[in-house]
Amino acid sequence: MNLLQITAVSLLFFTLPVCAQQPLSLQECIDLAMGRNLQHQRNEQTLAASRASLESAQAPFGFNMDANFTAPTFTEVRDTQESVALATRVRDESTNFTYNGNLRMSRRLPYVGAIQLTTSGERRDFSSNRRNNFLDFSGDMRLDYEHDILNRAPEEVSLQRAKHNFANADLNFKQQSLQLEGQVIDDYYTLVQRLRQLEIQKQRLDLSRANLELAQRKFEVGLIAEVEALRLQVELLQAESSFAQAETAIESQRDLLRQTLGLSPEDPLEISIEVENKLYAIDAQEAMRLGLQRRTDMRQTEISEKLRRLDLEDAHRRNGINATLNANISLRGRGDEIGDISSTLERNQWGVGIQVTMPLIDNGARRSSLNQARIALQQSQLTRELQRQQVVRQVRDAVRNLKEAKRQITIRQAGLKVAKRTYEVEQSRFELGLAQSQDLLDAQSQLTQSRIDELGAIVDYQRRLKDLRLATMADLNAFASEVD
């Protein structure tokens, strides 16, 4: 197969409808949702916007350089001047070609200050009918330094705030991704449950049809009354109705799963109906430790407290005494040739200054602003403790619910065994004429319900595993071991 054929096959594979090859597993559905779910894509864009804000805040602390050039500027002047002494008028004509440009480089160093180096150059070509023509080259170099003496520079506070905001956005994105995974698990197992219930309703329908045929034969030979057969006929109609309702519920749930996965309504969707039936022993203390350590909302409250501390620091800076040190030195060189600039370069200016600003009378505005920042910090500290209590409660509830779901599986499986045996006995008694059709119907209904209950218990256990993972935000094998 040549390269063109391989490319054509690859394009055909990627343009085939999703799920056209084989039923999707749960993990495949999760991977599909992470790539195609529209809300998840929107969350990724929100995270990207936060990353861009961080890059913008980091920009002053990197090396920055910009240039500005004008090439050339032409000016022509024509003017008539009068000489009072000579009582004459003189025509003055001049032209001026100017080429100039500047290059600015800057960088801010944390805790040191901002440094800026600006270099500029100019070439001037002057010609006149009244004055001497000249060609002049000049160059300047200026170094500026700025440092906040009493407080951190606003750029440093903004950078720290941007880092916290990005960390918060990243944690929020991870939480949203895990919630999407949980939504996929819920929708997936709901569809699996309904598909399996359709099989159970099909089994009920087959049993009802077989029992009705048996009852009709027995009625024809006079072994049972007509009402016995009519009961089984009504049961068959009810079984057909339940089967049709199960089919309708499946398609509705399939559309819901399509939406969660980011598929269009026309895309085919088939999933595996196998449900993992593994039971786990949970280490509650380890689950609690991991929950307090890894829960993103716990870490977000810590970041929120750090942001409130920055707000308080910023409030002190805005409402307190500030002092800024400014220093500069500049060099200049000029001459008739461009090489004269470096040879005549000398210091032509330098200076140092400290600018101090302080509030005097503000009618309580400064005190109010500081109090608001302090209260916000105290509230964030209380919020962190409240969040910790909520995480503890959620993890404990998730562990208890998982244990109860495990217990329900054992109960429902025992109930199914009894229901199967009861139905076999009642069916044998009905065939021998020792039981009425109502007894058989009751046993059949109990068998169907027991099958549904067992399936529901198994699926519910998987959902409780998902809830525990959401409560701890940790992998299952970190605090659980499979029970033989």
Confidence of residue 220 (pLDDT cuts 50, 70, 90): confident
In this structure, the answer to whether residues 399 and 470 fall within a common structural domain is: yes
Per-residue pLDDT at 147 exceeds 80: yes
In this structure, the answer to whether residues 352 and 271 fall within a common structural domain is: no
Task: CATH number of the domain at 407, please.
Answer: 1.20.1600.10
In this structure, the answer to whether residues 407 and 381 fall within a common structural domain is: yes
pLDDT by residue (tens digit) across 231-246?
A: 888 988 998 998 999 8
In this structure, the answer to whether residues 200 and 286 fall within a common structural domain is: yes
Per-residue pLDDT at 3 exceeds 80: no
In this structure, the answer to whether residues 210 and 272 fall within a common structural domain is: yes
Average pLDDT over residues 439-462: 93
Task: Tell me the C-alpha distance between 158 and 349, whole Å.
Answer: 33
In this structure, the answer to whether residues 281 and 392 fall within a common structural domain is: yes
% of the chain exceeding 70 in pLDDT:
94
Average pLDDT over residues 316-326: 89
In a domain, 368, yes or no: no
Confidence of residue 129 (pLDDT cuts 50, 70, 90): confident
pLDDT in the model for residue 119? 92
pLDDT in the model for residue 15? 41
* CA-based nearest residue to 61, from 165, 144, 157: 157
In a domain, 207, yes or no: yes
**Quick check: 70 and 101 in contact, CB under 8 A?**
yes
pLDDT in the model for residue 202? 92
pLDDT in the model for residue 87? 62
Which two tokens mark 109?
């160093």
In this structure, the answer to whether residues 385 and 472 fall within a common structural domain is: yes
In a domain, 154, yes or no: no
pLDDT by residue (tens digit) across 258-295?
A: 999 999 988 999 999 888 888 999 999 999 999 999 99
pLDDT in the model for residue 83? 63
Average pLDDT over residues 325-329: 93
Task: Say which residue, 63 or 19, is predicted with more confidence.
Answer: 63
Give how many domains the chain has, as a whole number: 2
- Residue 383: partners with Cβ closer than 8 Å, 6 or more residues away: 301, 304
Confidence of residue 9 (pLDDT cuts 50, 70, 90): very low
In a domain, 135, yes or no: yes
In a domain, 312, yes or no: no
In this structure, the answer to whether residues 204 and 243 fall within a common structural domain is: yes
In this structure, the answer to whether residues 186 and 256 fall within a common structural domain is: yes
* CA-based nearest residue to 239, from 203, 214, 213, 196: 203
In this structure, the answer to whether residues 262 and 411 fall within a common structural domain is: yes
In this structure, the answer to whether residues 103 and 231 fall within a common structural domain is: no
Confidence of residue 86 (pLDDT cuts 50, 70, 90): low
**What is the extent of the structural domain holding 273?**
20-53+159-307+374-483
In a domain, 314, yes or no: no
pLDDT in the model for residue 78? 82
Four-point Cα dihedral 257, 260, 264, 270, nearest 10: -30
Per-residue pLDDT at 16 exceeds 70: no
Task: Tell me the C-alpha distance between 459 and 125, whole Å.
Answer: 88
In a domain, 204, yes or no: yes
Average pLDDT over residues 108-114: 91
pLDDT in the model for residue 10? 40
Per-residue pLDDT at 188 exceeds 80: yes
The HSE-up count of residue 472 (CA atoms within 13 Å, CB side) is 26
Task: Tell me the C-alpha distance between 57 and 51, whole Å.
Answer: 10
Say how many Å lie between the first and final Cα of the chain, rounded.
50
In a domain, 7, yes or no: no
- Residue 364: partners with Cβ closer than 8 Å, 6 or more residues away: none
The 3-class SS string of the chain reads CCHHHHHHHHHHHHHCCCCCCCCECHHHHHHHHHHHCHHHHHHHHHHHHHHHHHHHHHHHHCCEEEEEEEEEEEEEEEEEEEECCCCEEEEEEEEEEEEEEEEEEEEEECCCEEEEEEEEEEEEEEEECCCCCEEEEEEEEEEEEEEECCCCCHHHHHHHHHHHHHHHHHHHHHHHHHHHHHHHHHHHHHHHHHHHHHHHHHHHHHHHHHHHHHHHHHHHCCCCCHHHHHHHHHHHHHHHHHHHHHHHHHHHHHHHHHHHHCCCCCCCCCECCCCCCCEEEECHHHHHHHHHHHCHHHHHHHHHHHHHHHHHHHHHHHHCCEEEEEEEEEEEEEECCCCHHHHCCEEEEEEEEEEEECCCCCCCHHHHHHHHHHHHHHHHHHHHHHHHHHHHHHHHHHHHHHHHHHHHHHHHHHHHHHHHHHHHHHHHHHHCCCCCHHHHHHHHHHHHHHHHHHHHHHHHHHHHHHHHHHHHCCCHHHCEEEEC
